[in-house]
Amino acid sequence: MLRFFSVKNFRQFRKELVFDFTNTRDYQFNSNCVKNGLVNKAIIYGKNAVGKTSLMEAMRDIYYMTIGTYVPEFDAPYRNADADDDENMQFHYTFQLDGTIIDYSYEKTDYTHVIAEKFSLDNTVIFEYDRRKKYFNFDNVGAIGAEQLNWDTFQLMDVDEDRTGLVGTLTALRFVFSNTAMNDGSLLRKFMWYLSRMRFSSSMNTLITNRNLKHLLGSLANSGEDAVNRFQSFLNEFGVDCKLTVLKEVDGKSVIYFDNKTPLAFFENMSSGTMLLTKFYLQFMTNSTPFTFLFIDEFDAYYHYELSEKIVRLLEEDFECQVVLTTHNTNLLSNSIMRPDCFLILHDGKLTPICDATTRELRQGHNLEKLYMSGEFDAE
C-alpha cells in the first residue's frame, strides 16, 4: 500500500505538496475506508484549477519512470511556471509491502531526465546517487540481488549529453527491474508487480479514448452472449434502463445495439453519462488481475448524484486496493459514505483531511456537506 507521497515544483505545486495516507483518526464507522492504519478509500474536493488533475499526474509519474513506456505529452505543462531553471521536480513515495517499508524518491530536470535517485528498505539505503554532485552509492545493491549489474556503466551515463531521452529515463530502479533475476516471491518482484497494477484515469482524459471505445465494444460483442449480458446487467444496476442485443453489420462485424423496436447502435446513441459508465466498466470491471492502486479524477463528471454514490459504494465494497477519487459532488460528502479522515480538500497547494481543517470535533452525526458549504473547512 502507498503510505506517503509528496511532489514539488510540478505544475501547480511550487511548494511541496504532501499526501500522507498514515494520517487517520480512530473513527468507529466506515472502517473499510482505512486499512492497516492507512487511508484506503479517499475523496478529494477542491475548486477548479487548484491541481486535482495535476496531483493525479504527479502520483502517476513513478509508473512512467520505472515500469511503463508511455511518456507524458511533451507539450503539456510539467515544471512549475514560477520555478527557477535550477529547481528540479521532486517526487517522493513510501510504500508498505509485506511488512517492509519501501522508500523511493527522485529528481527530474524535465519530463524524462532523472538526475538524482534514492531507494531504501526499512530505512537502509540500497542505492543513492546525485549526478549534479557526482555522488554515487551502490554499496547495498546486493540486498536486492543486483550486485552483478554493471553499476560503473550506469554511473558514467551522461544525462546532459543525452539527446534520445533514453539515458534519463533509465532510472536505477528500472535498471534493476530490467536486468535482475527475481524470484516470484521476492520483495522486488512484488514491488514491480504493485507498480504495474497502479491505474490512473480521468473522465476528461481516460485511457479508453472515444476512438478505441468502439473497438473495445466490438470485442465485447464478439465475446459471446454472457459477456454482453453481464455488461447489460451492470448498466441496469447502475441506473441505465436498457436491453442490449448483438447484430451483424453488412461487413460481418458484430455490433452492440439497444434492443428497441427499431434497434439503435449503442456506440452512436449512448448518452455522455452512459459513455462514462461504459468506460468505467471496460477499464475497471473486466480485469481478472486485481489493481493495487486507483486514482480516478472527476470520476462522476456526467453522473447523476445517485449513480455517483453507487459507484463509490462499489469501489468501497468490491475493490480491496486503495482508491482515490476527485469530485465536485458535495452529495458524497457524508459520514454515511466515508469518514472525515478520508475526505480531503486541496487548497493553495495543500491537501488537508476535513477533520484537520476545522477546530470542531467531527462526529458521525455531523452534516459534512452543510459544514463544507458554509465554509467550515476553508483553510487559509
Which regions in the chain score pLDDT beneath 70? 69-77, 158-169, 204-211, 379-380
Map out the domains of the chain as residue ranges: 1-197+289-380, 208-288
356, 59 contact by CB (below 8 A)? no
pLDDT in tens, 138-150: 999 999 999 999 9
Residue-level pLDDT at 252: 87
CA 165 – CA 49 distance, rounded (Å): 30
Strand 41-45 to 322-326 pairing:
parallel
Q: Which CATH superfamily is domain 1-197+289-380 in?
A: P-loop containing nucleotide triphosphate hydrolases (3.40.50.300)
> In this structure, what DSSP letter does residue 79 have?
B
CA 366 – CA 354 distance, rounded (Å): 12
Residue-level pLDDT at 72: 57
277, 240 contact by CB (below 8 A)? yes
CA 66 – CA 104 distance, rounded (Å): 11
158-194 as b/e, with b when 16 or more CB fall inside 10 Å? Answer: eeeeeeeeebbbbbbbbbbbeebebeeeebbebbbeb
pTM attached to this predicted model: 0.92
5, 45 contact by CB (below 8 A)? no
> In this structure, what DSSP letter does residue 356 have?
G
CA 296 – CA 325 distance, rounded (Å): 5
Residue-level pLDDT at 309: 97
For residue 75, CA distances in Å to 49, 78, 79, 82 come to: 18, 9, 11, 17
